[in-house]
Structures are given as structure tokens and as C-alpha cells.
Structure 1
Amino acid sequence: MSALPQPGPRSFTFLVNPASGGGAAPDAVVPVARLLREAGATVDVTYSPGPKAMVSLVGEAVGRGDVVVSVGGDGMLSSLAGLVADGGGTLAVLPAGRGNDFARMLGLPADPVGQARLLLEGSVRRVDLLSLSLPGAPPRVVAGSVYSGVDARAAELVDRAHRLPRRLQYPYAALRSLATYRPGRYRVSVDGVEREHSAATVVVANSAYYGQGMKIAPAAAVDDGRLDVVVIEAASRLELMRSLPKVYDGSHVALPEVTVLTGTRVELRARSRMPVPVGGDGEPLGVLPGLGDDPATVELLPGALSIVA
């Protein structure tokens, strides 16, 4: 490995989810931490922090002036993003999950030398976050996207697809979800303008990518101060399966059954034969309220997070 420049004032607290990426996260830490220490940086590594422990660990790290490094997937990143933002700290990402879609959106390097160099030398930029509120539950901060319907069902199936190669897990889950989906009746309000759709899925996106590289919201940017709402209208299962490859390059948004809206506050309700699941950044978050209930809300948190990228 090539020598790295001597660090400036940065020190690092790595918080590692050892289950991410099928157990890949601990291995991802070792070479990067070694390079940082060889360059003279202070590095602290904690494995398997639980939710309660993360609150105190992040608070202590931010208090010391450390950059908090999320080691894992998009779910781990989201679980830390709100804590770091609330504390006024700086986050960095060492992608080691199945999807790594927020890292993909930021264009982060995949090799240890590049990752260490970015941590030492990378600029700190401000990015937007999302806040999801479900009736009766505390708000949940999400970095990349909130999704409901078929997409949320597919995310649940990914967790059961560990025996498949990583690159096949999301396509498999998407096809399985489409094979059994039932359309829902969605009521979607964007900045106070309400519409109803018979839809397979509704995605509220901050990042363009989800589902291991699917470009669900090609116009989205993490620092543009807006949400991109992608509604995929109900169609036959075969038509949805045939259009699935278009999601990888973003060309699906040109299809007549796809509607893209933009705004800063989104309200969602839905009715279907079964409760409509909702998730965010690979994590199940609950179910959408019914058409006659108080809505779920997704609000933009503009420039909420400082991140090394």
C-alpha cells in the first residue's frame, strides 16, 4: 500500500455493524484503520453497538471532535446520521453492506487506500436528510429513501436471501415481491397538493439509488433541498417484471405508468388487502396508515448532516 499523507486535526470513531454485508464489515475496517494509524491519526473502533449504546458513543465521539465513521450498510448509516446531525458532528462512511447505495450516490472509493485518503483529506459537505413520522411513533431519520408497497416487501425478502450471491439478492427479492404483489390505493400529498393513485409502490427519495444500484429517482441529489417522489402505478405483474431492468439506469421514469413529483413535505396513506409496508434504507419501519387515518409524513431536513465526501 502506498504511503498516506500525515493527517490534519482529524480523529476517528468507527462504529461497526459486524452483521452488515454478510459479515464483511469487520474485515473492511482493519486495513483502513491500520492506514490511518500509520499516518498518525487517532482511531477508536467499536463493534456491534446497540441502539442505546450508539446514542452515548456518538455523543462522546462528537464531544471529542472525532469524525464518526459508519461501517456497514445503508441501515447503519441512517441509524447514525440523525444522531450525528443532532450533535453537530461530522459523519463519514465506510461502505460494507449489501446495497451501499448512499455511498454510491456520494461516489465514495471502494479500495482501502482510497477510503483512508478520503477520511484524512476529504472535504466536508452538507447533505439533506429525511424524517419519517408514522402515527403514534417517534420520527425516524433516513438518509437515502423511504419506500412503500412492493419495494418495502422486496427489502424484507432480501434479509432472507443470504444464501444467494450478494449481487443476486436484490433482483431475486424484487421479482419475488412482484410475483405476489397486490396494488394499493395511495393518497399522496406533496406540499399540500393531494393526488390518488392505484400503485405498486411509492418512493420518497433523497438519493437517486436504492436496492443495490437501482436508479429509482435519477434526478435526485442529496444537496438540492428537495424530495423526489416516484409513483409506479399498478400494472400487470408481467409488465412490472419486464420494466424492472429499466430501474437500473433510470429510464423507467419515461414510462407512462410512472409519475415523478417534487417537494419538501410528503403525506402518505394507503389501502390494500393487506397492510402496506413501509421501509427506509433497507430497514422495515412499519405500515402506512389507512386512507381515513392520520397520514405518515416525510419531511426534508435540508443540509442537516455534515459528511466527509
Structure 2
Amino acid sequence: MRETFTAVVNPAAGRGTAAATMITLARHLRDTGARVQVAYSRGLDHATELAAAAAGRGDTVLAAGGDGLAGAVAAGLTGTAAELGVVPAGRGNDLARAVPLPREDPATFAAALRERPSRPVDVAMAAERVVLGSVCAGLDAAANDAANRWRLPRRPVAYQIAAAGVLTRWRAITYDLVVDGVPERLRGHTVVIANSPWYGGALRIAPAALLDDGLLDLVTVGEMGRHRLVPVLAAMRRGAHVTMPGITSRPIREVTVATDRPLRCYADGEPLPPGPVTVRVRPAALRLIGA
């Protein structure tokens, strides 16, 4: 049974609800006899520093916020024996969908965090960024950017609303890929490199993806008209898109993505630096509670 926790909280996540969520959960953890320290991050780099310091003390580390915070906290724990627990309190919370913990009741959730086993899981490395969920380049990345800029609800549906808005003026991209050392060219709408199945607020982009298989899943949506893209986006909610014409999904270990026009890639809902990006798997690099 775990005795000592540090919770790294993004105070802005969920319009401030992450702090309230963690305060409630911390109270239930303390009621069971655990020691809990709550630390508020000033940004992703600071979250990584807080997590690394907690790992150095031998604490179990909780990430209370969205998927971006979970990846930043994981960066401070990757390669160590420290365990990570995910407390979803952001907009998308896609990683939590791959980790079946009972989160509806705080007392039951607290008990699970103390008692459920952890397992080693893979992470993706996008340049120097640790990614637990996925990296995307294309229509979905543009929708993520729009969801961050527009006044949209702080709920998963915001990503779908943003995608619909971006689609009206979207045009296909030429991608130059190097997949496990082999160059490829693709004309299409998006490239996703997934470590876990969900992204974009409950879209099952890579239904075959597993957190612990030592692989990433490369999903591509080829060139097609808007009238075909709309049903593809709808099918993503069920993971049924991968059997549709123009879409491919396959396991890989490493890919480099370059595009024919400036386009920012997103990793776990956070922007990556401009330019080509290389994403590779780092197997069994992180211990995740409930995985």
C-alpha cells in the first residue's frame, strides 16, 4: 500500500476545478492514513521539476490536470522507479480513458490509488518531449490550436466544434515521412502517432494502440473531399474509421514527420516547436497505476 504522495496540480485546468478535485481527493487519501503534499505548477517545465523532486523523495506522484500536465509529470518520472497516478481534471482527459480506475467516487478513487498495482508502460518521445497519448500533425492539430484560441466550452466537445470550424477552410497537406528508416510521401489530412487509443476528447483514433506493447501506432488520413471527411470524424468516436478507404493504421517504432507548409504539431494537446518532428517509442519507461 502506498503511503506518501505528491500531487502536481495545474491550477488553471478545468477553469480552476483541478485544484478543488485534488483537494477533495487528498482529504480522502489522508483519511486512509496516507501523507499527501499538493504542489501547484507554474507551467509544464515546472511540473516536470516538481515531479522529479517528488520521485527523488520516493513519493508516488499524482498528475491533477489535463493530458498535457500528465505528460509533463511523466517526464520527471520516466526512467525511474516512481509511480504515476492520473487524476483527470482537464478538457480532454484522454489518457484516463486508457487507465481503468474508479474515479466517480473520491473515496473509492483514493483507495485505488493506494492499493491498485502499477505496470511499466511505454512513452513516446517527440524530440525531447515525453508523450503519453499522441502526436498529431494536420487537421486535428489545427483544431487543437483553434480550441485553445477560441471561446469554446471547457469540455471534450470543444475539439469537435473546433474541427468543424477548421474544416470549412482546410486543404490537404503533403507529408514526407520516414517510417522506421523508410521514406514515404503522403498527400492527406492528418498524421497521428499514438501511444494510447484516445485523443481529441474521446475520439478513439488508434483503437489497436496499447500502452505496453513496445510500439506506437501510426494513423494516416489520406486525401479526400470534405463530404468524406465528415463521416470519418464521426466514425472516430467508435474507432470504426480505420477500416474506411484512405485511412491506414499500423504499428511502428519511429517516424519523422515533415510537411510542405508551416504547420505546428501537437503532443498531448500541447504545441511542439515548429519544423519536422521525430517521434520514437521508449518501451516500459514509466510505471503507471491502474494500467
Same structural fold, with TM-score higher than 0.5 when normalized by the shorter chain: yes
Partner in structure 2 of residue 136 of structure 1: none
Is 1:130 matched up with 2:124? yes
Partner in structure 2 of residue 120 of structure 1: 114
Q: Secondary structure at the match of 2:230?
A: helix
From 208, 231, 249, give the equivalent of 1:242.
231
Partner in structure 2 of residue 71 of structure 1: 64
Distance in 1, Cα, partners of 2:45 & 2:190 = 32
| Backbone CA RMSD of aligned residues | 1.6
Which sections of structure 2, spanning at least 5 residues, go unmatched?
A: none
Is 1:102 matched up with 2:95? yes
Is 1:187 matched up with 2:176? yes
Identity of aligned residues (%): 39
Mapping of residues 24-173 of structure 1, within 5 Å: 24-111=17-104, 112-133=106-127, 139-164=128-153, 166-173=155-162
User: Which amino acid counterpart does residue 122 of structure 2 have in structure 1?
Assistant: D
Q: CA deviation at 1:182?
A: 1.7
Distance in 2, Cα, partners of 1:277 & 1:56 = 26
TM-score normalized by the length of structure 2: 0.94
Residues 167-176 or 73-82, more deviating? 167-176
User: Which amino acid counterpart does residue 63 of structure 2 have in structure 1?
Assistant: S
Q: Secondary structure at the match of 2:98?
A: helix
User: Which amino acid counterpart does residue 33 of structure 1 have in structure 2?
Assistant: A
For the 8 Å contact 1:190–1:261, the answer to whether it is kept is: no
For the 8 Å contact 2:66–2:91, the answer to whether it is kept is: yes
| Compared CA separation, residues 206 and 55, structure 1 to 2 (3 A) | closer
Residues 48-57 or 82-91, more deviating? 48-57
Q: CA deviation at 1:60?
A: 2.6
Q: Deviations over 1:183-206 (max 9, x none)?
A: 111122221222211010000000
User: Which amino acid counterpart does residue 279 of structure 2 have in structure 1?
Assistant: V
Distance in 2, Cα, partners of 1:113 & 1:98 = 23
Q: Deviations over 1:205-264 (max 9, x none)?
A: 001100111000110011111111001002112221232110100111111110112211
Q: Secondary structure at the match of 1:166?
A: coil
Is 1:283 matched up with 2:270? yes
Distance in 1, Cα, partners of 2:81 & 2:2 = 17
User: Which amino acid counterpart does residue 285 of structure 2 have in structure 1?
Assistant: A
TM-score normalized by the length of structure 1: 0.89
Q: CA deviation at 1:167?
A: 4.2
Distance in 1, Cα, partners of 2:154 & 2:67 = 19
Q: CA deviation at 1:286?
A: 2.8
Q: CA deviation at 1:161?
A: 4.2
| Compared CA separation, residues 164 and 223, structure 1 to 2 (3 A) | same
Q: CA deviation at 1:53?
A: 3.7
Which sections of structure 1, spanning at least 5 residues, go unmatched?
A: 1-7, 134-138, 290-295
Distance in 2, Cα, partners of 1:305 & 1:267 = 23
Q: Secondary structure at the match of 1:218?
A: coil
Q: Deviations over 1:104-128 (max 9, x none)?
A: 0112333212321111111011110
